[in-house]
Amino acid sequence: MCLHPRPVEPVPEETVRVARAAFPRGNRYLLMRDELGAIFEDAQFTHLFPTRGKPALSPWRLALVTVMQFAEGLSDRQAAEAVRARIDWKYALSLELDDRGFDASVLCEFRARLAEGAAEELLFDVVLERFRAMGLLKARGRQRTDSTHVLAAVRRLNRLERVGETVRLALNALATVAPEWLKGQVRPEWADRYARPFDDIRLPKGENARRAVAERIGKDGFELLGALASEDAAAWLREIPAVETLRRVWVQQYLRTPEGIRWRSDEDGLPPAPREIDSPVDPDARHSKKNSTSWLGYRVHLTETCDDGAPRILTRVGTATAPTQDDEATAEVHQDLRGRGLLPRIHLVDSAYLDADLLAISREDYGIDLLGPARRNKGWQARERTGFDQSNFEIDWDKEHATCPEGKRSLSWVPGTRRGKPVVWAQFARKDCGACPSQKLCLRHKPAADGRKPRKQITLLPRERHEALKAAREREKTPEYAREYRRRAGVEGTISRAVRICRIRRSRYLGLEKTRLQHLLSAAALNFVRLSEWISDTPPPEARVSPFSKLMNMPA
């Protein structure tokens, strides 16, 4: 299909008359069309369409339908039906009342164009620009970030089901694109072995029997991979996604040994969670656990503004695999916001998003005050609130020594690395520690085998990181910190709305790329809803409080 951009048509007179009669007080879509026009234009999508071919449907309409679809949590069929049946949608889309709309598959094709054209953020960015043009979105304000889990559109398979399904999906893919070649490669017994999904098959329960089945499947998989690697097979067959998934799963689950093929055990080295493929249907989905929540899928990070007297606007959406920790996303959030020209002055986060490095880097590289609960000292003294922890030692960075609470100076000052990050080890003399009257408040070492006296060693971060972490911990004790940090709690309400309105915790699609597109469209829809509420002076929804809590909070 080709695209020849056309201007947005005005709303037909008959549609205006009927819509005004049906909604005398207006509604969200009438208000947005009157105040902001169509929001999107055909010219914004020209790079996604060829210049020759059958004329395409107006992409500005498809974009607006997509945003309204996600704003109401509708499926493609429901959205297409709404275009045909709802007066307020026809008003927003400049359609005649008798317009028959389009087939639901058009919306799927439009999203595919966005993904293939690397334009996943286009709709989100256009809505953001509307906020910026209205003076509602500015840099150097306050923003807050939090994350939530996202369930993949597949279920987690056990190891035996996983390898069996991987072979079955590869065979089905090859049977579709190269049936004649595949028919000459497969064994007759494969027809029964891989005819049905493995979660429908009664698999053995005994460990030895399951291992035998797994190794038989492993031989079949290696035989298929060997046939694909031969000169008789076309090179493009090896590039089929299901075949590539087969290769990756077999590397993770099997070993070739002189005795034959062996199913990997813990001793052989199974892949860690961030790398292990849990389902061949969605190879990007990963398993993770946070507190009591365990899931297979992804993790989404939402960043929004939280300034007084302005609407709450989502400025950044990030989708990652489930095992990706929150502190790994902090630098990405800041880098992305700088690219958009929307860096905040204060960034409110929970403790998972910050550490000493991030506190210093955020201030030095981005000019951002990363505000949140600093991570606690993990020493037993700090946990039990007895004895001398690291905060009780005085550090002289210029003279490179530490002084303990009893006034003894460290004997050595040795720079090094721990877990790939620079540290400094300050070590005290054995004679000082051995004769110290406060030894039990400082040391819990077992007596050395050679009878030598114990000695204290503290591990310090580089000066800038150490002082940034110390300052953050001190600031938490102030009432100003408590007042400022109270704003962060509002992001929980944003996640709640995204879950209830846009179903953001369940992936509609397979793969990280399409899930990311879903989250960006959901964010654009949520911003669309908030903009309509701001224009109509609709107060934001209040936090839900149970009747019992209301009763207990009532004055006596």
pTM of the complete model: 0.88
Task: With respect to residue 101, please indicate whether it lies within any of the assigned structural domains.
Answer: yes
Task: With respect to residue 307, please indicate whether it lies within any of the assigned structural domains.
Answer: yes
pLDDT over 80 (residue 451): no
- Tell me the average pLDDT of the chain: 90
pLDDT over 80 (residue 356): yes
Q: What is the pLDDT of residues 85-110, one digit of tens each?
A: 999 999 999 999 999 999 999 999 99
Both 453 and 308 in a single domain? no
- Reported as a pLDDT band with limits 50, 70 and 90, residue 168 is very high
- Cα torsion for 376, 382, 385, 390, to the nearest 10°? -120
Both 427 and 491 in a single domain? no
| pLDDT value of position 441 | 84
Both 249 and 314 in a single domain? no
Both 343 and 440 in a single domain? no
More confident residue, 537 or 71: 71
Helix (H, G, I), strand (E, B) or coil at 438: coil
The first and second tokens of residue 258, run together, are 């002189």
Both 362 and 384 in a single domain? no
Both 82 and 216 in a single domain? no
Closest residue by Cα to residue 288 from 245, 323, 328:
323
Task: With respect to residue 339, please indicate whether it lies within any of the assigned structural domains.
Answer: yes
- Reported as a pLDDT band with limits 50, 70 and 90, residue 291 is confident
User: In Å, how far from its chain's centre is CA 544?
Assistant: 26
Both 345 and 492 in a single domain? yes
Task: With respect to residue 280, please indicate whether it lies within any of the assigned structural domains.
Answer: no
- Reported as a pLDDT band with limits 50, 70 and 90, residue 556 is low
More confident residue, 38 or 2: 38
| pLDDT value of position 257 | 85
Which of 268, 295, 311 is where one domain is finished?
268
The first and second tokens of residue 228, run together, are 């694909």
Q: What is the pLDDT of residues 228-267, one digit of tens each?
A: 999 889 999 999 999 999 999 999 999 988 888 889 888 8
Domain ranges, residue 260: 159-268
The first and second tokens of residue 436, run together, are 């110290």
- Reported as a pLDDT band with limits 50, 70 and 90, residue 418 is confident
**Mutual angle of helices 490-502 and 512-535, in 10-degree steps:** 110
pLDDT over 70 (residue 341): yes
Q: What sections of 117-199 are H helices per DSSP? A: 122-133, 159-177, 179-183, 190-193
pLDDT over 60 (residue 448): no
Task: With respect to residue 526, please indicate whether it lies within any of the assigned structural domains.
Answer: yes
pLDDT over 60 (residue 497): yes
- Residue 332, domain CATH: 3.30.420.10
pLDDT over 90 (residue 433): no
Task: With respect to residue 550, please indicate whether it lies within any of the assigned structural domains.
Answer: no
Domain count, the chain: 4
Residues 6+ apart with CB under 8 A from 292: none
Task: With respect to residue 541, please indicate whether it lies within any of the assigned structural domains.
Answer: no
- Cα–Cα distances in Å, from 373 out to 26, 220, 481? 45, 53, 10
Q: Comparing 16-30, 43-57, 264-278, which segment has the lowest mean pLDDT?
A: 43-57
Backbone torsions φ then ψ of 308, nearest 5 degrees = -70, 145
Q: What is the pLDDT of residues 173-227, one digit of tens each?
A: 999 999 999 998 889 999 889 988 887 778 888 889 999 999 999 999 999 999 9
| pLDDT value of position 457 | 87
Both 264 and 313 in a single domain? no
Q: Comparing 137-146, 181-190, 342-351, 444-453, which segment has the lowest mean pLDDT?
A: 444-453
pLDDT over 90 (residue 2): no
- Cα–Cα distances in Å, from 40 out to 15, 71, 128, 142? 20, 16, 12, 28
Backbone torsions φ then ψ of 316, nearest 5 degrees = -160, 140
Query: Hey, what amino acid is at 100?
Result: R
Task: With respect to residue 540, please indicate whether it lies within any of the assigned structural domains.
Answer: no
Do residues 161 and 198 lie in contact, with contact meaning Cβ atoms separated by under 8 Å?
A: yes
| pLDDT value of position 1 | 65
Do residues 102 and 83 lie in contact, with contact meaning Cβ atoms separated by under 8 Å?
A: yes
Q: What is the pLDDT of residues 112-160, one digit of tens each?
A: 999 999 899 999 999 999 899 988 898 999 999 999 999 999 988 889 9
pLDDT over 80 (residue 382): no
Closest residue by Cα to residue 66 from 102, 23, 20, 26:
102
Both 171 and 259 in a single domain? yes
Both 353 and 494 in a single domain? yes
- Reported as a pLDDT band with limits 50, 70 and 90, residue 450 is low
Both 363 and 387 in a single domain? no
pLDDT over 60 (residue 449): no
Both 387 and 255 in a single domain? no
**Mutual angle of helices 327-339 and 356-366, in 10-degree steps:** 10
- Reported as a pLDDT band with limits 50, 70 and 90, residue 446 is low
